[in-house]
Structure 1
Amino acid sequence: MKSAKKIKDELERMLQMLAFGSPSKFKVAKREIERLWHSDIKEFEKCAPLALEYIRRFDEIQSPKNQAAFASGLSLFFLALSDKYFDTLKNFVLKLIQNPDGYVRESIRKTADWLYVSLTSRVNPFVEKLTVKRKAEQKNAVKQYAKYVKEIQTLIEKYYDKNRDSADYVGDLKPSVYKSLELLWADVTRGDHIFLDDCPSENTLEKRKEIEKKLSAFVTETKSDFDVEDIRSAIYYEEGTDTMTDIIAMLDNGQGAVELQDIIDVITDAWNYFPHKTLGGKSPCQMTGK
């Protein structure tokens, strides 16, 4: 087991490598960060705040390749820091998601998933009874979540792409800041706004995960050009039952009637359990109280 100082020194060396080093060293640096995490998680967490200094110095990183590598390499630091330094990391994400380089935007979008994990774990902690401290953390997380979503929506309006009006799915759009923001919004909300009083029940969320797994399997099996996010987006922006037909077509590759019926059954479940914009972000099951 290494001392805290040695871990800190090595982490700093890896961050330096990602931010200012040669692209040939990026994979080495990321693997070393992962190794240090697994070797001593508690010491890693103690040393993790050193990444905040590099985040503040991000504008010193000139190469887009280094910027993308640095954003990607922050994943475990976000895991360690998101609860305590949420606002700092959130502001960094919102800054980089507007970066002109698509690789930088995609790297920070993936890293930002740990912010979602932090928020949801504090909004819906896995404990039977909340202490006074936990209740305060929960209340703060709800506010942070609401503000985060609102700030993303404000940026979406700022960068709105007129091509969105003619595109059936976000995935159809060409790479752009607007597209990255739409994808980030989908990541952060998962189609929901968990800060609402009538957020989905635990059973509903579990059902959605089950449906997503089945849809993912069908996407792979049918070699579809679409993915689960496209299906979820189509349901959210649906304009009536014709949309259901369009979604079925995404996974219809001419298979037999039995196989197609299995797909239709899962899509029907997705339609009923996934949120719809026309229902205020709720699912039909939520509206009927099921």
Structure 2
Amino acid sequence: MSSAPISSSDYDRIAIITGADSGIGKATAVVLAEQGFDVGITFHTDQAGAEQTAKLVRDRGRAAAVRGHDLADPEKASSAVDELADELGGVGVLVNNAGTGSSRPLLEMDFEQWRSVLAVDLDGAFLCAQRAARRMVASGRGGRIINITSVHEEYPRVGAGPYCAAKGGLRMLSRVLALELAPHGITVNTVAPGEIATPMTGQEDQPPEPGSRPGYPIARPGDAREVAAAVAFLAGPSSSYVTGSSLFVDGGLGLMGPQAAGALPSGEWRRG
């Protein structure tokens, strides 16, 4: 096992991004291509969206490869990491972005739905990270693993029990990986977005409207490109001494817990 410092530039300039057919994944693919990365893209159902992302990467002079996968079967789906790495010639950065959620109180939730969210958001991220990390270790050139979590890696939300549990688990998984992989020159961090204007939040990549979220310190949803910029920092050489950290990109939303609780005029929040 090497005891060399984490390298700032040796790792392969190849990034694999799960769930890159839209939203944060798509924006991340574009910004990493602009920074000189070839990009592997996965999608679940939106192949056209994934191919559009690939076109944007190629328009920036970089190679792109696309694979479909369904992380509800994480053992099978994680093989896409190896397939993309083989096609592109390696992997230096993995961005675990694919995710799903739920909107049902825990007492009304069956085990199948609970497990389906954890399979995608936690099991899938673990297995994809494991496959990528094994390749990074074997190459001897280090790398970056960036797991997209949510403000809910720390803060709970009514009706989002399995999502919160998975994202909290992914934060701790990232920290353990950071400890275990640091001697190999691999950093592992999370990016924790707040509300971002993407299809997942029902906003179909709409431009965030200023002033539309008066309860947030920065009174609007975030833009996917703002999250992508944080991912790009963690993927680049300037972050070489950052590992095991969570970078919140939430417009200050996490600061509002006790403040917002004291300002609520009713108990409607209990409805989720």
Report the TM-score, using the length of structure 2 for normalisation: 0.34
Structure of greater Rg: 1
User: Greater helix percent: which structure?
Assistant: 1
User: Greater strand percent: which structure?
Assistant: 2
